[in-house]
Structure 1
Amino acid sequence: MLKELFIGLSQNQLLNTAAKKYGLKLGAQTVVAGTNLPEAIQTIRELNAHGISATIDNLGEFVFERDEAVMAKEQILDVVRAIHENGVDAHISLKPSQLGLDIDREFCYENLREIVAAASEHDIFINIDMEDHARLQPSFDLLDELHKEYDNVGTVIQAYFYRAEEDVRAYKDFRLRLVKGAYKEPAEYAYIDKAEIDRNYIELIEYHLLNGKFTSIATHDDKIIDHVKQFVEEHNISRDKFEFQMLYGFRRDLQLQLASEGYNFTTYVPFGNDWFGYFMRRLAERPQNLNLVAKQVFTPKTNAVIGLAAGAFLLGRLTKRK
């Protein structure tokens, strides 16, 4: 129920609009690296100083108009230029839906291609973030088409999908970020039980570490991290073949510790005003995250806004059941 609540909140357009307007006042700065690009670049400089790389996400939700998708494309092109001009250690993560996937597939492809081409000129990697099951195959199709021309592109495999093992094998020659999964998916498409998701996640990690190009292990789970450490030692896997990833604002001490231990480490750095849907999905993905940032983010004002939205969500659920 808690996961369903956070997913419902993430899709609430009224709440997203309110969060854009009052973002910093609601405590967004603890989970978002600024509302503009200069602030994000400064955050990345600070991470780089500690030996930590970054993958930067220009946040965006609910893009159903062409002009919004074009604006998102231009903003991401600005990120490409900023990474190059500032010489920071970073790459880019983006969502096809932000670039028009829900509007027109070919329109989305042209936007993506322009970004990947610009990034290729500066040897900047582009990671295509995966979304819910309805957008899954269309996103893989876009990746396949892009890869015919460019090799600076990779994607994400979500362990809760039944098809994840098949996808990891099909894309073993790509740089992959492996995650558990953050959307609410029906049992028709995905594992629901946490133990099953964790089991599948570990199997995917092990397969790609042994057979893949480069593995980004994106988790805050201590047990998974410890398992990976032991696995790579037992199988003599070079640290150049993988990295750990975590979200900006979460478990900073552990991020610094892993980097200081000599592991490649990347922090997922989101920026922009459109932060609320992203944050709610992170809480849905792992409710324990709530404890990591609760004191910083959940102020009385935040609680009031979320409480109203949660009440509306639950009322809607009860009404549907009746």
Structure 2
Amino acid sequence: MGVTRSFFIALSKNQALNSGAKRWGLKLGAGKVVAGTDIKSMMQSVKELNANGISATIDNLGEFVQTKEEATQAKEAILKTLEAIQVHGVNAHMSIKLTQIGLDVDPDFCLENIQEIVSAAANYDIFINLDMEDYDHLQQTLDILNVLLKEYDNVGTVIQAYLYRAEKDLENLKNVRLRLVKGAYKESPEVSLQEKKEIDENYLKLIKLHLQAPGYTSIATHDHHIIEQVKAFVKEENIPLHSFEFQMLYGFRTEMQKDLAKEGFAFTTYVPFGQDWYAYYMRRLAERPQNINLALKSLVSK
């Protein structure tokens, strides 16, 4: 499956295919894991989640941003989504990729954009999560986060357990709300663990460390083995339920999401939406190649 994973990650970076995907719409099975292409359809999905006791972290999808104009458009779309969260009164916050608002164009310009977003979110009492991207953007993301933390407390980021530096980064952010993940990008053996067993072990270690730290912990995984170990750990250590949550992606393990919420655990679903769904979907196929059949069936049935 290594070749398949690399293949779909490569596809996710193809800008020409991304442009074509906008014409295809959600015909490749992406409609199963993307909550529509506009705010109206996304909000309906979020309200359905809320009705089941589940919160949402909303990702207004957008990649391949190469100009300040594109970054400004993305920022305005994010601000409109924040306003919609406020107007509809839903239980939700937002997840944002800094490359979407200009990190690769001009880091200072990107900082201005995210400051405007975090400030608006603070006025609405909405949390902003800085999604972590590939290793090349890691330090820039942390640098911007640290600037934001000097003024705001409604912002956090993601720690990827497959990176060697993850534990040190987590220690530096022990007071911050963090989403902990295994890691979705294909990184070099020079900077990341490669074996599933080692990644799982480090992931569980980081979860336990942050659960005992002051910062809120979002445990983002579909791995039921990890989830069961976390449940046992929080019971043994008397970790208060209000200090952490489980997270999963929209459209995956839906019944387990509902079951965890019914058990009394805080639960948040990662809800992506928008026209630029292509790269996100390719990465999901890379992570879960069993979804390839779903995509092919959806295509030939149209």
Give the structure-1-normalised TM-score: 0.90
Q: Distance in 2 between matches of 1:13 and 1:303?
A: 26
Q: Which residue does 1:26 correspond to in 2?
A: 28
Match for residue 297 of structure 2 among 296, 299, 306: 299
Amino acid of the structure 1 residue aligned with 2:86: H
Deviations 1:95-115 (A, max 9, x none): 000000000010000000000
Deviation at 1:260, TM superposition (A): 0.8
Q: Which residue does 1:316 correspond to in 2?
A: none
Amino acid of the structure 1 residue aligned with 2:296: F
Figure out how many residues of one structure are paired with residues of the other and give that number: 300
Contact 2:29-2:299 at 8 Å conserved across structures: no
Q: Distance in 1 between matches of 2:120 and 2:216?
A: 22
Contact 1:30-1:296 at 8 Å conserved across structures: no
Which range moved further: 32-41 or 294-303? 294-303
Q: Which residue does 2:209 correspond to in 1?
A: 207
Deviation at 1:38, TM superposition (A): 1.0
Q: Quick one: percent identity of the two aligned structures? A: 57
Contact 1:96-1:128 at 8 Å conserved across structures: yes
2:93 counterpart SS class: strand
Match for residue 185 of structure 1 among 184, 187, 207: 187
Q: Which residue does 1:273 correspond to in 2?
A: 275
Residues 94-113 of structure 1 aligned to structure 2 (within 5 Å): 94-113=96-115
Contact 1:248-1:270 at 8 Å conserved across structures: yes
Contact 1:16-1:274 at 8 Å conserved across structures: yes
Q: Distance in 1 between matches of 2:180 and 2:301?
A: 32
Matched, 1:165 2:167: yes
Deviation at 1:280, TM superposition (A): 1.8
Q: Distance in 1 between matches of 2:259 and 2:17?
A: 36
The gaps in structure 2 that reach 5 residues or longer are none
2:268 counterpart SS class: strand
1:224 counterpart SS class: helix
Q: Which residue does 1:282 correspond to in 2?
A: 284
Q: Distance in 2 between matches of 1:301 and 1:171?
A: 44
Q: Which residue does 2:225 correspond to in 1?
A: 223
Q: Which residue does 1:67 correspond to in 2?
A: 69
The gaps in structure 1 that reach 5 residues or longer are 305-322
Contact 2:135-2:187 at 8 Å conserved across structures: yes
Q: Distance in 1 between matches of 2:145 and 2:220?
A: 20
Q: Distance in 1 between matches of 2:274 and 2:221?
A: 23
Q: Distance in 1 between matches of 2:53 and 2:279?
A: 29
Contact 1:94-1:128 at 8 Å conserved across structures: yes
Specify whether residues 300 and 87 from structure 1 end up closer, same or farther in structure 2 by C-alpha distance, changes over 3 A only: closer
Give the structure-2-normalised TM-score: 0.96
